Amino acid sequence: MEIATLAPILIVLLFAALAAGLWIGFALIVVGLVAMAAASSAPVTLVFATRVWGGLTVWDLTALPMFIWMGEILVRSRLSADMFAGLAPFTRYLPGRLLHVNVLGCALFAAVSGSSAATTATIGRMSVPELTARGYDPRIAIGSLAGSGTFGFLIPPSIIMIVYGAATEQSIARLFLAGLVPGLMLVALFSGFIMLWATTHRSAMPADEPGSGDPRAVLRLLPVIGLIAAVIGSIYAGIASPTEAAVIGVAGALILASATGALSWRGAGEGLIAATQTTCMIAFILAGAAFLTVAMGYTGIPRALAAWIGEMGLSPYALLAALTVFFVVMGMFLDGISIVVLTVSIIMPMVLEAGIDPIWFGVFLVLVVEMSQITPPVGFNLFVLQKITGRDILTLAAYAAPFFGLLVLAVALLSAFPQIALWLPGTMLN
């Protein structure tokens, strides 16, 4: 079958399968089977078995379940509440006051969870009731949480960066380093916007909170900071690989949670089950994507697409602008990990052809995918906040809109100044 005919059929089939409620992994396998049947006489069962096995037996992926489990332990422990209380004294004299706890808390928790949804849920359970009770405007209180929750994708250890690194055979350690400075840049942009909003909306700000400035509460940050230092520091110091650092993180989280008496045997079991379910879900998607990738290779569609883009003569900036729009549209229908595994095999040839660094592109991709977490109808951070706040998706999306704009600004800055992502890995690992 001709590529021009087959490609639209496969796209329609994929979206039809997803719209019908078929699991993403199954949908990818179905599309791959149709592609193989239409374009190749190769033995489908043999190709499926070898490719799925090869796609899942990647050493870098072993870090994935451990980081997910670490996040589940922290969600069920008292460490997250201690983190909120410990950050409050730092924000008392800033315009916006406790609103900054959303940003700083999400940044800290992202550094020990690697998950956007877990970051939003954990900080949201603490901050939304607290800020609401103190009289903060829900537009900025909930909007800043929706935007800041996306840090879980960018600030290492990032689960989605592990998936991207495994799919593209890039160094996980380099990707983690590359995401650090852009993550801090986002923290500065979000906090700066909150200060600007608080300064221009003084009437919407509550009175000063006399109980939020106890300096002794800062000591409650020490366990979280120690865990971050153990996990991230062991990677950057060359002591441990990302997988070994993930094991250190799980052990540290269990020790800290047990020492504070915040984790019961039941809670530990629930965390392990939840981590197993999440890991299996991601692994199933990766298996389907691995088979679809090789099936697409048999059809010749990726090569034809890359050649077509090349013939258009797009500059690297024009290509990145087109990809930004493409990923944002994809994000309206798919979660972040699915976007990465679905598109990376098709996108990477044209990205490399344009001379774009794959490590830098990984950070760019994660930033753009972050936008999809706060765009309806499939914005996972919005789903989490809907459960916490009881507000509808469109209202939450409106609250998050300014922070979506800041993410667009961050993508523009990253594109104009690539060294924001490349300087740290180039300095520490060369």
pLDDT (tens digit, 9 = 90+) per residue, 134-180? 788 888 989 999 899 888 788 887 888 888 888 888 888 899 889 99
pLDDT at 40: 77
CB environment 403-413: b (16+ within 10 A), e (fewer): bbeebeebbee
| pLDDT above 90: percentage of residues in the chain | 13
pLDDT category at 197 given cuts 50, 70, 90 is very high
| Contact assessment for residue 136 and residue 169, using Cβ atoms and an 8 Å cutoff | no
pLDDT at 243: 76
Average pLDDT, the chain: 80
pLDDT category at 191 given cuts 50, 70, 90 is very high
- Higher per-residue pLDDT: 318 or 381: 318
What residue spans of 149-221 are helical by DSSP H? 151-154, 159-168, 172-200
pLDDT digits (tens, 9 = 90+) for 1-60: 666 677 788 878 877 887 787 777 788 888 888 888 887 777 888 888 888 887 777 666
pLDDT at 419: 93
CB environment 217-243: b (16+ within 10 A), e (fewer): beebbebbeebbebbbebbbeeebbbb
Domain membership of residue 228 as a residue range:
3-428
pLDDT digits (tens, 9 = 90+) for 111-143: 776 677 777 877 777 778 778 877 888 889 899
Query: Going by C-beta distance under 8 Å and a sequence separation of 6 or more, which residues neighbour residue 230?
Result: 245, 248, 249, 252
| Contact assessment for residue 376 and residue 328, using Cβ atoms and an 8 Å cutoff | no
Rounded CA separation 257/267 (Å): 10
Closest CA to 81 of 38, 125, 113, 114: 125
pLDDT at 411: 93
Which DSSP state fits 373?
Answer: T
Task: Give the C-alpha distances (Å, rounded to integers) separating 119 from 18, 63, 203, 297, 344.
Answer: 27, 18, 30, 37, 25
Burial (0-12, 13-18, 19+ Cβ within 10 Å), 2: exposed
Rounded CA separation 401/403 (Å): 5
Number of domains in the chain: 1
List the single range of 79-93, 239-253, 383-397, 400-414 with lowest mean pLDDT: 79-93
pLDDT digits (tens, 9 = 90+) for 300-320: 776 676 667 667 777 888 888
pLDDT category at 378 given cuts 50, 70, 90 is low
Residue 389 pLDDT > 90: no
**What token pair was written down for 160?**
């989605």
Which of 170-174, 240-244, 267-271, 296-300 has the largest mean confidence? 170-174
Count the residues in the chain: 430
User: What torsion do the CA atoms of 36, 37, 40, 46 make, to the nearest 10 degrees?
Assistant: 60
pLDDT at 385: 82
One-letter amino acid at 4 equals: A
Rounded CA separation 37/43 (Å): 9
pLDDT digits (tens, 9 = 90+) for 244-268: 887 888 888 888 877 776 677 787 7
Residue 429 pLDDT > 70: no
